[in-house]
Every structure is written in C-alpha cells, then in structure tokens.
Amino acid sequence: MIWVLLAYLTAPFILLTRKSRTKPKSRRILIIQTAKIGDMICSTPVFREIKKGLPEAHLTVLATPSTKGVLRGNPNVDEIIAISTSDYRGIAGKLKLAEIIGKGKYDTAVCLNPNTLFALALFWGLVPVRLTILPDFCGTTFKLASRLFTGLEKHLQGRLVAETYLKMLRHIGIESSNFKKEIFISEEGKSKAEDFLKNLDMPLVGIAVSSGNKLKELGVEKLSALVSGLLDSVDCSILLIGAGADKKTADTVIEITGLRKNVINSCGKFSLEELPGLIAKLAVFVGVDTGIAYMADALSIPVIDMAGPSDMQDQRPTGAKAVIIKKELPCVPCSHSFKSPYECEIGTRECIEDIVPEEIVAAVLKTIGAGK
C-alpha cells in the first residue's frame, strides 16, 4: 500500500518528466506475461494480433526464465526480456525494474499480469499508454494501483481470459476475436524428436507426469493404472512427458507397470524450446490442466484434459478434439486465472481423486478410434 501512495505523491514529477521525454522514432510495445507456461501459450494471440494490426511495431515480451523458451521462434516477438519477479521486491527492486522498462522507451505497455509491481514499474518507467486487466479476484492494494494504468479491461467470470486480453487491445485500436493459440516448432526440436522416436509404428499417447501446481497432479498410483489400462486396451506406445525433476516419478511408473518396452520416459530430455517438436508427434495428449496441455492444443493435437480444481471458463483447451474431464463438486472450481490455491482447502482433492483411470482410457480410445 505504501508504494502506491508513493506513486501518487510522485505523479506530478512523473508527468512532467514524461512530457519532456523524446518520443521514439518507431512504435515500441511492451507485453508483460510472467505467469506459467500455459498462461504464456494462451497469451500468444495477443502477440499475433498486435503484430497484425501494427506490423511496424517493435514487440518486446517481459517473461520469466522458465517460460522464455515458449517464445523463441515466435515471429511476432522481436525481443524477450527474462526476469524473476522475486528480484524486484522493496522500493529498490521496483525502481530497478522501472529503470529497465524506462530504457526500452516504450510508448505502450500491455500488462497481462495485473499486479502492483508492474503498475508501479510502468508508471515510474515513463510508459505513456499502460493497459491491464482488472481481475475478478483482486485486493484493495491493486484496486488503488490500477489507477496508475491508463486503460483497464474488466475480466468477467464466464469469459475466457484470452477474450479479455483481446478486448483490452481495443484501447490501442486493435479489434479481434481470434484467440487461437500458437506455438512454433524449431528445426532442432523436430530433428531431435524424429531421432528420439525412430522406429515407432504405433499411435503415440503422451501423458504428463506432473504439474507446476501439485494440487492438480494425478500421482504415481493413478498414472501407473492409466498406463497399464491403455496398454491393455489399445496397441500404442506411451510417452511420459515432464521436466528433469519428473524423471524419477516416470521411472517409478515404468517399474510399476512391468518395464514394458513401449513406455518411453522423455522427462528432462527436451528443453522447452525443443518440446513442441516432440508434442507434434502425438496421436493424443493426456494430462491435468497444465502448460503442456496448452502446447498440445496450440499444435492441434487432441487433448484429454483433467480439469481438477481449475475454472474451465477462464482457461481451457479449445481445439475441436479437446475433451475435458471434470467432476461436478460444490468446491469446484477453486482455482482461477487470478486466484490459484496450491493446497486443497478441504484436504481431499476429490476433483482429482474421483477421476478413475478407466474414464481417461475410454476418452483416449474414443479420441483415437482404436481398441483391442
């Protein structure tokens, strides 16, 4: 709260400084998206539609080190700045971020992460046009900080966040309702995937081993039952997908299911930049509502998405062959785009635990039209 009050006190000086500043020769736009992989992928329509409407603009994306790989190869992004928001706490950190933003001499900022840090940094960074979302869940401090933006687009429950993003662009003269996600396959990723999966002649079913939010995870027991159920029901190969930290979990699943040769552990073997090349090889992707599900959806791969606690009205796979498995419970959804718990408030995780492997297997068989 004290930082917002300080911003109000410095407002006259900031406005005078901005008026005396030399305008850049060409349009420079900053987009801020420091959320997780899935959120970044769901933000890609914003990059595309800005470039489509303002092709001469230089587009910079402020991202985290863990998500910048999603952006590499995206023709709509001219520059990536990777930051960890934890490095910009306190007044010194906020001023440091404002200095970084100020050096970019941006005339417009589109902030997809509505928070106080970016409200202050963009204001003190002398960006003239500052747009953001007014979330359906926000506290008093951000409500005060939101006045530092020049344009707000209110997010309404029941609407995809991607739709709200695009409505926000109307403030800079861009009209669009095309929220199709995009991901781009690198030549290195394509070549690596082909080499990794050579000699496979059966449909490839990808299964996510984990989730960035542990509240959503299926767990080893359910994963093992899912793998066994699929292999007993259809002639296919199983690809276990995850980061290096998930390798041990994937190895455990393989051991429990009997060390079958057509179960492949890819955890940690592909970087985020390379991963689209691997995902593109799938006949279907299976996972909880997590980043790789949105990567598959952007690549038009059929997705079986276990919603768990997630609000599917906020964000969901939108492909024609996407299947969402969710349980109708009084406490669901509890996880929203702008309010994400990391522990079950009632301690049961029924939204995940009530999903049985047979239900997922049936959805896979229906999607790929196969069975023994």
Give the per-residue pLDDT at 1: 57
Task: State the CB neighbour count (10 A cutoff) for residue 209.
Answer: 25
Which two structure tokens, joined as six digits, stand for 76? 């709509």
Give the per-residue pLDDT at 4: 59
Instruction: Report which DSSP code applies to 246.
Output: G
pLDDT tens for each residue of 98-144: 999 999 999 999 999 999 999 999 999 999 999 999 998 888 889 98
Give the per-residue pLDDT at 194: 96
Give the per-residue pLDDT at 89: 87
Rounded to two decimals, the pTM is: 0.92
Q: For the chain, which ranges sit under pLDDT 50? A: none
258: left (phi over 0), alpha (psi -120 to 50) or beta: left
Give the per-residue pLDDT at 139: 84
Give the per-residue pLDDT at 371: 54
Question: Which residue ranges form the domains of the chain, and what is each CATH number?
Answer: 2-172 (3.40.50.2000), 187-368 (3.40.50.2000)
Q: Decide if 305 contacts 151 (C-beta within 8 A).
A: no
Instruction: Report which DSSP code applies to 303.
Output: E
Give the per-residue pLDDT at 17: 62
Distance between CA atoms of residues 133 and 135, nearest Å:
6
Distance between CA atoms of residues 168 and 110, nearest Å:
8
pLDDT tens for each residue of 206-248: 999 999 898 999 999 999 999 999 999 999 999 999 999 999 9
Distance between CA atoms of residues 89 and 96, nearest Å:
10
Q: Decide if 239 contacts 264 (C-beta within 8 A).
A: yes
By C-alpha distance, which of 130, 170, 136 is closest to 154?
Answer: 136
Give the per-residue pLDDT at 5: 57
